Amino acid sequence: MKYWLYVLRKENFEITSENKFSLIGFPERKLKIAKEMDVGDKIVLYIASGVSKIPGIVEIKSDYYESREWIWDDTFPIRLKTKPYIILKKDKFLDMRKLKDKLHFIKYKEAWRTYFMQAIKKIDDKDYKIIEQQILKSK
């Protein structure tokens, strides 16, 4: 199983939430990454746009496919069907400013926001477990 971090703008998170976390999409330039993703992999959601919070985790339910149907603020044609794994209530979202010092993939803690500029990235088991434990504590 692999673990991923998916960065969303606030508006796109709200649309994803309204759709019951059943689908996520990426730009075409992320096709290579989508091909590495497998059914059962977990994706940590991260809301950017000045929010800097983790609302939860979804699980991949399908291989990637392509669609041009307009859902979010862009087409994001590379898509995966997902299902909620752990989704927190809005007042329980994890604040990345409080979590960043515990995560290994953030090497330069003072420049932590730069690590969230990619739409999707793989994270290691250790960081995933830290995030998952913090989400479960926050429930």
Residue-averaged pLDDT of the chain: 95
- The Cα–Cα gap between 131 and 122 comes to 14
Query: Quick one: pLDDT at residue 139?
Result: 80
Give residue-wise pLDDT tens across range 41-78: 999 999 998 899 999 999 999 999 999 999 998 889 99
CATH ID of 3-138, from 3.10.590.10, 3.20.20.70, 3.90.660.10, 3.40.50.720: 3.10.590.10
Domain ranges in the chain are 3-138
pLDDT of 78 reads: 96
> Model-level pTM?
0.95
d(CA 126, CA 117): 21
CA distances from 21 to 27, 44, 111 (A): 18, 12, 30
Token code pair at residue 6: 């998916």
Residue 48 CB coordination number (10 Å): 18
Residue 127's pLDDT is 97
Q: How far apart are CA 38 and CA 137, in angstroms?
A: 27
pLDDT at 3: 98
pLDDT of residue 119: 86
